[in-house]
Amino acid sequence: MAFFGLIGNDRQMADTTYCERESASEKTARKRRAAHHRSARAVDRQGQAWEDGERRRQDRSGWWRSQ
């Protein structure tokens, strides 16, 4: 594209050249949502690991119980 062809035809270019592309704001929002879901999964796994460890700690018998 020549420089002089770019002046004043941005709406036409948006309708033709960039019609199948994702906008920058849509891309940012999609990445933000994906990051949120990733962190939610990680936090859920951390909570589950803590709960499993806590149950193991509570269920095992200590030295004071064996005497």
The pTM of the whole model exceeds 0.75: no
Cα–Cα dist 44/48, whole Å: 6
- Per-residue pLDDT of 5-60, as tens digits, reads 667 777 777 777 777 888 889 999 999 888 877 778 888 999 999 999 999 988 88
| Res 14: pLDDT | 72
Measured torsion, CA atoms of residues 22, 27, 33, 36, in degrees rounded to the nearest 10: 150
Angle at 45 between CA 42 and CA 47, to 5 degrees: 110
CA distances to 5, 13, 14, 34 from 8, rounded to whole Å, are: 8, 10, 12, 36
| Res 48: pLDDT | 95
